[in-house]
Amino acid sequence: MTMKAVFKLEGLDCANCAAKIENDVKKIPGVQEASVAFMTQKMTIVAEEDRMDTIIEEATRIAKSQRAYFPAPPGLDVFTFSPIPWVSYSHISHTNPGHRNNVTPMFDWGRYTERDGRMMMPFSVQVHHSFVDGVHVGRLIENIQSFMDEY
Q: What is the dihedral of CA 91, 97, 99, 102, to 10 degrees?
A: -30
Query: Catalytic residue at 94?
Result: no
Q: Given 99, 128, 129, 136, which residue is catalytic?
A: 129
Closest CA to 67 of 105, 6, 124, 12: 12
Sign, CA dihedral 45-50-53-59, equals negative
- Annotated catalytic residues are 129
